Amino acid sequence: MTRRAMAGHLAVLAAVLAVAGPAGAKVFEPTYFALANGLEVVVVENHRAPVVTQMIWYKVGAADEPAGRSGIAHFLEHLMFKGTQTRAPGEFSAIVARNGGRENAFTSQDYTGYFQTVAADRLELVMELEADRMTNLALTDAQIEPERRVVLEERGSRVDSDPRSILSEQVQAAAWLNHPYRLPVIGWRHEIEAIGRAVIVDFYRTWYAPNNAVLVVAGDVEPVRLRALAEKYYGPIPARPVPPRVRPAEPPQLAPRVVTLSDARVSQPSWSRRWLAPSHRAGERGHAYPLELLAKVFGGGATSRLYRALVVEQEVAVSTGAWYDGDAWDLGSFGLWVAPRPGVPLDRAVAALETEVTKLLAEGVRAEEVERARQRLVDGAVFARDDLSTAARVLGKALVTGRSVGDVEAWPERIAAVTAEQVTAAARAILKPATSTTGVLLPAAADGQAGRGPAAPPVRPEPVR
């Protein structure tokens, strides 16, 4: 079965953190502790409703898979619902549903996560269930083979039948020359077909250990009670040796790449370009916070430079924007995209966007633009602290990608300290042709005419559910 997460996704991190407001303010004010077996635990109190969200995050994702075995992390995510030594296949989900809760899971390049949202008085129940499958997963070929078909069907529906997703996968493969981020999280079809039980079990036993996990609980619970429950259910699970996350380094990139896909299913062309960029953990980390603001100033919404120039003033695009992914364990990426208005040649819209990039690099950004972008982040996330899953996602993602609770809590003052000069410097450091990969999506209609439907933005790499 396909595991789809709740509305929204983990890419909201930057906007969510902005809710804390002025420098010196806190974000979620969590309680942090670690058990003797190495399990990190974060508690975020929110007593507005008698509800809690439990999330368990494992510090392993698609980029940690052995060569030639792409898709194991996501395949295992599916199989974690197939039963343990004490629970029958599907019993986990049935119990959660019977108790009025909802649950799901997700896999990314750098982590795998599982969560449940239940009434506060059912927290102990789901903690017992989650702790059980951390160590007691029981897999047989009879369980694995039907789920393999489900994963392959998911790949068919989410990637193979969608031209935008096909192009995104091909662009991702071209953007990275050596690093495993080039591989799709869901896996290549031929490798999914070849993954055997022994490989899956070995992956589970290697990475699914308390000392390689983070537990985040948000909602109507007090830290003292949560610690007692964590000690009761997770505490007895012994720590195990976990290998270091050794990944091939990306060599210097010396030439831009362009990937073009023509498909009869495409109704309107689109264009995107991405660059390798520092993350909060890797590369020139001093550029990370400025890049968050650059994405907002240059392509973040209807008041951004790109939208005003291409959509409002020149009327050559129906949509355009920018994005920044700085939450990776290794390097991140920065991207731009544009979809032309019906009847407007794609190259004209692209030329208009590239003109704006040239202006950006030549003239830089203004202090008032940076300040407005900062304020938009705050305005757009004003209710974020009230959402239990948001707190758990932000804190969990930070901890499994090399950041700390302190980093999350310090976000407001760090983003407030970014200057226009730093944003400009980050743009000039990152937006270089040699490290860029461009994706072009074109119609391939029988009559040679492009369709007139609205174009959607390019698919960015996101966790697979």
- Is residue 193 part of the annotated active site? The answer reads no
Could you tell me if residue 117 is left (phi over 0), alpha (psi between -120 and 50 degrees) or otherwise beta?
Answer: beta
Buried b (16+ CB within 10 A) or exposed e, 394-428: bbbbbbbbbbebeebbbbbeebbebebebbbbbbe
pLDDT average, residue stretch 132-156 = 96
Q: Which of 89, 105, 195 is nearest to 137 (CA)?
A: 89
Nearest to 172 by CA among 246, 113, 265, 109: 109
Where residue 26 falls among pLDDT bands split at 50, 70, 90? low
How far apart, in whole angstroms, are the C-alpha atoms of residue 230 and residue 360? 51
Residue-by-residue DSSP string for 306-321: HIIIIIIIS--EEEEE
Please name the amino acid found at residue 426.
A
pLDDT of residue 7: 33
**Which stretch of 222-231, 274-283, 322-331, 405-414 has the lowest confidence by average pLDDT?**
405-414
pLDDT at 464 over 90: no
Query: Domain 257-443 is in which class?
Result: alpha beta
pTM (2 d.p.)? 0.90
> At 457, is the pLDDT very low, low, confident or very high (cuts 50, 70, 90)?
low
Q: Please tell me the distance from the alpha carbon of residue 171 to that of residue 173, in angstroms, as a whole number.
A: 5
The neighbouring-strand residues paired with 258 are: 438
- Determine contact, residues 174/106, Cβ cutoff 8 Å: no
Show Cβ contacts of residue 92 under 8 Å, excluding neighbours closer than 6 positions.
81, 83, 103, 129, 133
From-to residues of CATH 3.30.830.10 in the chain: 10-233, 257-443
Residue 193 reports pLDDT greater than 70? yes
Confidence of residue 378 (pLDDT cuts 50, 70, 90): low
User: In this predicted structure, which of 2-6, 301-305, 413-417 has the lowest mean pLDDT?
Assistant: 2-6
Residue 24's pLDDT band (cuts 50, 70, 90):
very low
Q: What is the mean pLDDT of residues 360-371?
A: 96
Give the pLDDT band (50/70/90) at residue 379: low
Label residue 403 by pLDDT band (50, 70, 90).
very high
Between 92-106, 362-376, 399-413, 436-450, the lowest mean confidence (pLDDT) is in 436-450
- The confidence score (pLDDT) of residue 409 equals 87
Q: What is the architecture, at CATH level 2, of domain 10-233?
A: 2-Layer Sandwich (3.30)
Query: Residue 448 pLDDT more than 80?
Result: no
d(CA 33, CA 238): 17
Q: Is the pLDDT of residue 376 over 70?
A: yes
Gap between the Cα atoms of 201 and 195, Å rounded:
11
Across the range 276-282, mean pLDDT stands at: 96
Q: How confident is the model at residue 374 (pLDDT cuts 50, 70, 90)?
A: confident
Q: What mean pLDDT do residues 155-174 have?
A: 96
Residues in the chain: 465
State the distance between the two ends of the chain, measured CA to CA, in whole angstroms: 10
| Mean pLDDT over the full length of the chain | 90
- Checking if the pLDDT of 456 tops 90, the result is no
* Those residues with Cβ within 8 angstroms of residue 355's Cβ, 6 or more apart along the chain or in another chain: none
Catalytic residue among 40, 65, 77, 250: 77
Residue 287 CA from chain centroid, whole number: 20
pLDDT of residue 236: 98
pLDDT confidence band for 167 (50 / 70 / 90): very high
pLDDT at residue 86 is higher than 90 = yes
pLDDT tops 60 at residue 447: no
